[in-house]
A and B are shown apart, each in its own frame.
Chain A
Amino acid sequence: MSETVPTKSLGFRLRDVLPRVLNVLAMPLLAILSAFLVGALVIWITSGQFETIFAAYGGMVRGAFLKQRGFSETLVAMTPYIFLGLGLAVGFKSGLFNIGVEGQFYIGAISAAFVGQAFTGLPTIIHLPLTLLAGALGGALWAAIPGYLKARTGAHEVINTIMLNYIAFRLVEFLISGPFKDPYATAVQTSRISPAAELWSFYAIPQRLSDPLNALFVALILGFLAWVMVRWWGGQSRADRTAGLRRRLPWLVATGVAVLSFALLPPLTRLFWPFRDEYDRLHVGLILALLTTVAVWWLMWKTTIGFELRTVGANPNAARYAGVNITRNIVLAMALSGALAGVAGTIEVLGVSICRCLPLFFSSGYGFEAIAIALLAKNNPFGILAASFLFGAMRNGADLMELNSGVSKYIISLIQALVLLFVAAPAIVRWMYRMAAPRRPEEEAPLTRGWGG
């Protein structure tokens, strides 16, 4: 019997995997389709013309992908979504509904804006990580407060994080118009951050790399990535290699990659570089987002930390029984979630905003959309990439849609709310498409918990 118990093999067999993938994807895709169909209905009714639907959705597609810099703007828009979606997913997986990512986003943004302008003359290799860290830390601390209150007193995180959102809005407003106000700017905004703290746009990479310190920075990062990949691959295939080589190989490869990229990248990028559009805002935050996605996936599914968080989320009683520290994990989950949201705010300041600062009345509106993204992706990090792309495209295409068809871009919020509705209640989708109920509904862990804590 034991021989027949399947242990996970490395190679995927498409024949086995494909039906499962389709099964998993069916619900989200139907939810999106249904939301757009209902959206079309609303457009038809409010405009009174059937053709408006095509004008609107056509405009959206053109705005999101086809117009000049459309596609790269979509990628820019999706970057904060990835972080926020990941933040919510970490919370949901740990049994917490962090509805306060918006507030953590603001606190992260103001922290980064402060640290970004506080120093001049620091090299990127120090200033940029420092600024990112400040943003992450700001978000993490802001989120840890409701986490701690939840763990200690049972006060529900939904109400507390919403309250902290409002406090964050007021606090940031106060800071921007008061202590952190740029005395030289006409608009009410924080001071411009040091160029060293900026997230490089893709266009500027060759120019940035001409500074040897920056090249060293990139070389170190690439070396680290090489080290991770070799270790990962080495850990996966348990080939008969000597222990010594297994331990040394990642270091060897990493050093090689680092040295090579330090020597070759600056001249090579100067010779050939595909991003030649000066006004293209696409920046390295996207790469950071992709790396973070992998990191979050690894953390949540391949480490003891993630195992504890997920156990606390799925059944806190069983977690206690297994000796897991609930308080620490709840605070950790909120802090992680908040850190990701804080980085999203940081990226808004360091890579997206035109003024490279935090202006007053800068409204993101990201918070609620991130909930839809996380649930649409079923809290899977790679699903969040896909969902973020969709939402980024909608956000980016909305302006041209409004221009093209006269349909207010608030229709996007409506569609997003419907997406959330349909993924949150798959029974509605099944009911609409006359699908059979799933076999074992009890296998899903609950998403949120009641007030009792």
Chain B
Amino acid sequence: MAATTNALPAQRTFVRGRWVTPAVIGFGLLAAWWLLNLVIGGKCDDQCVVSTLAQALRVATPIAFAALCGVICERAGVVNIGIEGQMLMAAMVAYATNLFVFQAAKDVLGPQTAGDMSRWLALLTAMASALLLAALHAVVSIKFRADQIISGTVVNILSIGVTGYFYRQFLAENLPPGPGTFPITPVPLLAQLPVIGPIVFQQKPLTYVMLFTVLALHYVLFFTRWGLRTRAVGEHPRAADTLGVNVYRTRYVNVLIGGIIAGLGGAWFTLEAVDVFNPQMTNGLGFIGLAAMIFGKWNPFGALAGALIFGLGTSVTATVSIFRPDIPSQIPQMLPYLLTIIVLTGVVGRAVPPAADGQPYEKS
């Protein structure tokens, strides 16, 4: 008689819940972009459209890294709002490593080889520094069971302090020129594709790494033993514990891997975007990444979609300000943040986080 009350077919949520919202917002953004094109009087030709889209992917890279870091942490039940701080630290460490290794090695190896070496070394140290902060967050929130949002705030303040300190001590004075950022590395063959080629496959290396991370994380989360255990720990740690899954270990490893991913995102700022460091350069992108993660309902592809929307918002406003220099620069600069609020407000009520997200686990 009332047998329908309890049945909730899994199919439906897949078809409706997961993709419709992102798609609608994506189309909405495209429409908005056409409107903006009207604002600038149709001055954006094909070349300009393609470069705007390429720029969107480029800008989306650090946001996506932040969002992926969020996904891997929160799927295991650890809220990480310290991503911003981890990225800031990684950005500074990457910049400093790049610069000083280059200075030390350029006379021995020649500028070309030294530049390559210093950039890859810088990437490693960036990941290591973010990993260190992630370890702090992990210990404080997993072992000492502190409030995870406060613990993330500690990471943020700490990295503002530390990067500010080093910036003032070592990086603020007139420095010798560094080796510069990663060069654009077109992917052979794929870069020749029309439209897609210039947008996706003529990017710098970290963008490819980001796209690969999305794929890898999706595979790990939904098709492997580790992923199953991670999701179990994030939903119901005690149940996982009773089946012999080590909750603490799972959480530690995920938060640390998250740190490495955040480190990649931080490295983007000084190894791909610009060749300088300044103490506020992450500009809230870590937090926007968290919004992208919520928007993507804690799925890697969803997180990428969220990041792309923010990237698109940023690159479109950048395009607009090129053609309309009369608009004060602060107004378009506000837009990504405004967009974050709107997206978060529209989506969050329907996005359900992992059940144990943010809750310290205490073994009884």
In their complex, do chains A and B touch, with some C-beta pair under 8 Å? Answer: yes
A residues near B (Cβ < 8 Å) are 46, 97, 99, 146, 149, 153-156, 158-160, 162-167, 170-171, 173-174, 177-178, 368, 371-372, 375, 408, 410-414, 416-418, 420-421, 424-425, 427-428, 431, 446-453
**A446→B147 contact, CB < 8 A:** yes
With A and B bound together, what is the CA distance between A352 and B45 in angstroms?
A: 52
| Interface stretch of the complex, out of B57-65, B223-231, B270-278, B325-333 | B325-333
Are B153 and A450 in touch, CB under 8 angstroms?
Answer: no
**Across the interface, do A413 and B169 meet the contact criterion of CB distance under 8 Å?**
no
Cβ-Cβ contact count across A and B, 8 Å cutoff:
156
Q: In the complex, what residues of A have CB within 8 A of residue B162's CB?
A: 410, 414
A–B complex contacts, Cβ < 8 Å, 15 sampled: A155-B344, A156-B348, A159-B344, A166-B334, A166-B337, A170-B330, A420-B157, A421-B140, A424-B140, A425-B145, A447-B149, A448-B149, A450-B353, A451-B353, A452-B352
When the two chains form the complex, which single residue of B148, B153, B348 contacts A371, counting CB atoms closer than 8 Å?
Answer: B153
Q: How far is the CB of A429 from chain B (nearest CB, A)?
A: 9
Residues of B within 8 A of A167 (CB): 334, 337-338
Cβ-defined contact, A159 with B291, below 8 A: yes
**B294 contacts partner chain A, Cβ-Cβ < 8 Å:** yes
- Which residues on A sit within 8 Å (CB–CB) of B352? 452
**Stretch of B23-31, B33-41, B252-260, B282-290 that contacts chain A:** B282-290
CB contacts (< 8 Å) of A159 on chain B: these are 287, 290-291, 294, 340, 344
Give Cα A97–Cα B147 distance, bound, in whole angstroms.
Answer: 12
Q: Does B219 contact A (CB under 8 A)?
A: no
B222 within 8 A of A: no
Does any Cβ of A come within 8 Å of B240's Cβ? no
CB distance from B21 to the nearest CB of A (A): 14
Is B345 engaged at the interface, CB distance under 8 Å to the other chain? yes
Closest to B348 in A: A155
User: Other than the known A149-B341, A371-B150, A413-B161, what 13 A-B pairs have Cβ atoms closer than 8 Å?
Assistant: A99-B153, A159-B340, A164-B337, A171-B330, A171-B334, A408-B164, A411-B165, A412-B161, A414-B161, A417-B154, A424-B146, A450-B79, A451-B353
Residues of B within 8 A of A411 (CB): 161, 165
Judge whether B156 is part of the interface by a CB distance below 8 angstroms. Answer: yes
Which residues of A have CB within 8 Å of B160? Answer: 368, 413
Q: How far is the CB of B79 from chain A (nearest CB, A)?
A: 6
Q: Give the shortest distance, in Å, between A27 (CB) and chain B (any CB).
A: 13
B179 adjacent to chain A (CB < 8 Å): no
Q: Give me the interface of B with A, judged by CB distance under 8 Å.
A: 79, 81, 140, 143-151, 153-154, 156-158, 160-162, 164-165, 168-169, 283-284, 287-288, 290-291, 294, 328, 330-331, 333-334, 337-338, 340-341, 344-346, 348-349, 351-353, 357-359
Closest A residue to B159 by CB, please name it.
A417
Closest residue on chain B to residue A450 by CB atoms: B358
Give the contacting residue for B284; candidates A46, A163, A410; CB below 8 A.
Answer: A163
Point out the residues of chain B lying under 8 angstroms from A99, CB to CB: 153
Is B151 touching A153 in the complex (CB atoms < 8 A)?
A: no
| B169, A408: Cβ atoms closer than 8 Å | yes
Q: Is the CB of B328 within 8 A of A174?
A: yes
**A173–B147 alpha-carbon span in the complex (Å):** 34
In the complex, what residue of chain B is closest to A427 when comparing beta carbons? B144
For the complex, give the distance between the alpha carbons of A414 and B160 in Å.
8
Q: Chain B contacts of A46 at CB under 8 A?
A: 169
A-B complex: 3 closest residue pairs judged by Cβ atoms: A413-B161, A425-B146, A410-B165
When distances are taken between beta carbons in the complex, the residues of chain B under 8 Å from A162 are 284, 287
The answer to whether B161 and A416 have CB atoms under 8 Å apart is: yes
**Chain A residue with the shortest CB-CB distance to B355:** A452
* A412–B164 CA distance with the chains assembled, in angstroms: 11
Contact of A420 among B79, B150, B348 (CB under 8 A): B150
A406 CB to nearest chain B CB (Å): 9
A178 to B331: give the CA distance in the assembly, Å: 12
Structural contact, A450 and B161, CB atoms closer than 8 A: no
In the bound complex, do residue B357 and residue A414 qualify as a contact, i.e. CB atoms below 8 Å apart? no
* Majority secondary structure, A binding face: helix
* Shortest Cβ distance from residue B287 to the other chain A in the assembled complex, whole angstroms: 5
- Chain B residue contacts of A427, Cβ below 8 A: 143-146
Alpha-carbon gap, A178 to B330, bound state (A): 10
Given the complex, which residues of A lie within 8 Å of B81, measured CB to CB?
A: 158
Once bound together, how far apart are the Cα atoms of A99 and B156, in whole Å? 12
By beta carbon, the residue of chain B nearest A367 is B157
Contacts of A447 in B (CB 8 A): 147, 149-150
Q: Are A97 and B149 interface neighbours, CB within 8 A?
A: yes
Q: Is the CB of B168 within 8 A of A408?
A: yes
Contact B161 A424 (CB under 8 A): no
What residue of chain B has the Cβ atom nearest to residue A444's Cβ? B147
Chain A hits for B348, CB < 8 A:
153-156, 451, 453
In the complex, A414 Cα to B164 Cα: how many Å?
10
* Contact present for A413 and B140 (CB under 8 Å): no
With A153-B348, A155-B348, A368-B153 known to touch, is A424 a contact of B147 (CB < 8 Å)? yes
In the bound complex, do residue B331 and residue A174 qualify as a contact, i.e. CB atoms below 8 Å apart? Answer: yes
Residue in B144, B147, B157, B341 whose beta carbon sits within 8 Å of that of A431 in the complex: B144
- If A411-B165, A414-B165 touch, whether A420 touches B331 (CB-CB below 8 Å) is no
Distance between Cα atoms of A447 and B143 in the complex (Å)? 18
Pair A424/B164 contact, Cβ less than 8 Å: no
Q: Which residues in B have their C-beta under 8 angstroms from that of A418? A: 158
Residue A416 contacts which of B79, B157, B341 (CB distance < 8 angstroms)? B157
User: Which residues in A have their C-beta under 8 angstroms from that of B345?
Assistant: 149, 153, 155, 160
A452 to B330 CA separation, bound complex (whole angstroms): 32
Residue among A164, A448, A452 making CB contact with B150, cutoff 8 Å: A448
Closest to B343 in A: A155
Question: Are A424 and B340 neighbours in the complex by a CB distance under 8 Å?
Answer: no
Cα–Cα, bound, A67→B200 (Å): 61
Q: In the complex, what distance in Å separates the CA atom of A22 from the CA atom of B151?
A: 26
Minimum Cβ distance to chain A for residue B151 (Å): 6
In this complex, the member of A158, A178, A418, A424 whose beta carbon has the largest number of chain B beta carbons within 10 angstroms is A424
B contact residues around A170 at 8 Å (CB)? 330-331, 333-334
Closest to B74 in A: A451
Q: Which residues of B contact A166 (CB under 8 A)?
A: 283-284, 334, 337
From A451, which residue of chain B is reached at the shortest CB distance?
A: B353
In the complex, which residue of chain B has the Cβ closest to the Cβ of A163? B337
- Report which of B156, B290, B334, B357 forms a contact with A450, defined as CB distance below 8 A: B357
Q: Which residue of B lies closest to A148 (CB)?
A: B345
Alpha-carbon separation in the docked complex, A317 to B338 (Å): 31
Separation of A158 and B146 alpha carbons in the complex (Å): 17
| Chain B residues with CB below 8 A from A156, complex form | 294, 344, 348
Q: Given A420-B150, A450-B79, are A368 and B157 neighbors across the interface (CB < 8 Å)? A: yes
User: Would you call A424 and B165 a contact (CB within 8 A)?
Assistant: no
B140 touches A425 (CB 8 A): yes
Complex CA gap A155/B157 in Å reads 23
Query: By CB atoms of chain B within 10 A, which of A154, A167, A416 has the most?
Result: A167
CB A412 to nearest CB in B, in angstroms, measures 8
The complex places the Cα of A239 from the Cα of B336 at a distance, in Å, of 63
Taking a contact as CB atoms under 8 Å apart, the answer to whether B337 and A417 are in contact is: no
CB distance from A435 to the nearest CB of B (A): 13
A159 CA to B310 CA, complexed, in Å: 15
Known: A155-B341, A159-B287. A420 touches B168 (CB 8 A): no
Q: How far is the CB of B149 from chain A (nearest CB, A)?
A: 4
